[in-house]
Structure formats: structure tokens, C-alpha cells
Structure 1
Amino acid sequence: MSPLFRRKPTAPQDRLVTLVRKPGCHLCDDAQGVVEKVCAQLGVRWEQKDITEDPHLHDQYWEQIPVVLIDGEQHTFWRVDEERLRRALAG
């Protein structure tokens, strides 16, 4: 099936949250706490990627970290709002 016609996952357990961060970033630590909490409560998988180890992520997001992606699409950056993230994942 063409990527343009692929349905987005709707069940929380089918979603993937990616936290793009860098070492020593206090905003990244705060964002991770929110992502961990919400994902654990909803049963959503999550991963983190170090922007200093990925040239593509560095070029794309360096001025916005931390960045939260949901299923590969940017959800937010800098500060993560717990309720907004929960709505996006549950919805």
C-alpha cells in the first residue's frame, strides 16, 4: 500500500513516541519525564534519540530540542504538555 494511503495507528499501543534530545539538557530531562509517564499510563512505546549522534536529526531539529515525534511526525518541541501529549496519543 502506498505511504500516502496508509492509515495512521489509532490504538495507543500501536503508536510510537520518539524523544529527540541531547546529553546534559535539562529541558530534555523534563520532557523525558513527561513522555515516560504518559506512555507508561497509555501503554505506548517510546524511544529516545541523541541528536549529537545523528546528522539528519541534528540538521533538522538542533534549535528545537527537545523534540517529541509521534509516529515520525513532530508533535512539539522545547516543553512537553502532558495533557496535550495524552490527547494526541489517545485520540
Structure 2
Amino acid sequence: MTPRWIPRWGRGDAPSAGSEEHAGGTPTGARVRVLSRVGCHLCDDLLVVVDEVCRRRQEAYDVTDVDDDPALRARYGDLVPVVFVDGAQFATWRVDAAALDAALSQPRQGVR
């Protein structure tokens, strides 16, 4: 069985059902969530940037495979990878390291 999400820099509980309304939130409380899929070269490239920035800032991030959740696949299937910061959609397809770093330098916002 493929996990629905992959925690980075920490552990947490699996996400609850109805993940479409929680697409931006993370099951571990991480500030950054990436919606991705296996075999996506844009996802692989984006995850390198997210990993670099989050490691430098000592921030956790989660990766969720949209193909493991029909609601997420329907909503974000053609948009992956998608990055959420503090529950708000931040980037689609590509992410700028400086912009992500700047967003993470701001105080944590309420998760939507």
C-alpha cells in the first residue's frame, strides 16, 4: 500500500478523510505542503528546492501524492506540483527558492 503522504523532518498522523477541504493543511502541522505525483519531473525538481529551503530554515514539510486521493486528483491533477504555505496555495509547477524563503520568514499564519 502506498502511503497517502510522506512526512519530511518529522512524524505525524495520517490525514483524515475529506482531504480536499484540507488540501493546504498538513497532517503533521508542517508549514509547507507539496501536492505531487510519482514520475513527475516537475515535482522532483520542485521538491529539491523545497527540501533545500526547509532544511536551511529547519521547517518541516509534507508531500502528498494526489493520485492516492480521488478528490485531490480531481482538483489538482493537472496542476501538480502545488505548494501550500500555512494552508494557502503558494506556487504551482515551479517554486522560487527566494520567494519560499521569504514566505517562511514571516510569522506562521492560521491554516485554512
TM-score using structure 1 length: 0.80
Supply the distance in 2 between the matched residues of 1:24 and 1:15 (Cα, whole angstroms).
Answer: 24
Aligned residues: 78
The equivalent residue for 2:76 is 61
Which runs of 5 or more residues in structure 1 are unaligned? 1-13
Which runs of 5 or more residues in structure 2 are unaligned? 1-28, 107-112
Instruction: Using the TM superposition, give the Cα deviation of residue 54 of structure 1 relative to its aligned residue in structure 2, in angstroms.
Output: 1.1
Supply the distance in 1 between the matched residues of 2:84 and 2:69 (Cα, whole angstroms).
Answer: 15
CA contact (8 A) 2:30 2:62 kept: no
2:108 pairs with 1:78:
no
Instruction: Using the TM superposition, give the Cα deviation of residue 15 of structure 1 relative to its aligned residue in structure 2, in angstroms.
Output: 5.2
- Per-residue Cα deviation, 1:24-83 (whole angstroms, up to 9, x for no partner): 000000010000000001111101000100122112211211000112210001011111
**Higher-RCO chain (CA-CA 8 Å, sequence separation at least 6):** 1
2:49 pairs with 1:34:
yes
SS in 1 for 2:98: helix
More helix by share: 1
Supply the distance in 1 between the matched residues of 2:70 and 2:78 (Cα, whole angstroms).
Answer: 13
Supply the distance in 1 between the matched residues of 2:93 and 2:68 (Cα, whole angstroms).
Answer: 19
User: RMSD of the alignment, in Å?
Assistant: 1.3
The equivalent residue for 1:11 is none
Supply the distance in 2 between the matched residues of 1:69 and 1:56 (Cα, whole angstroms).
Answer: 17
Larger radius of gyration: 1
Counterpart amino acid of 1:54?
Answer: D
Identity within the alignment, %: 38
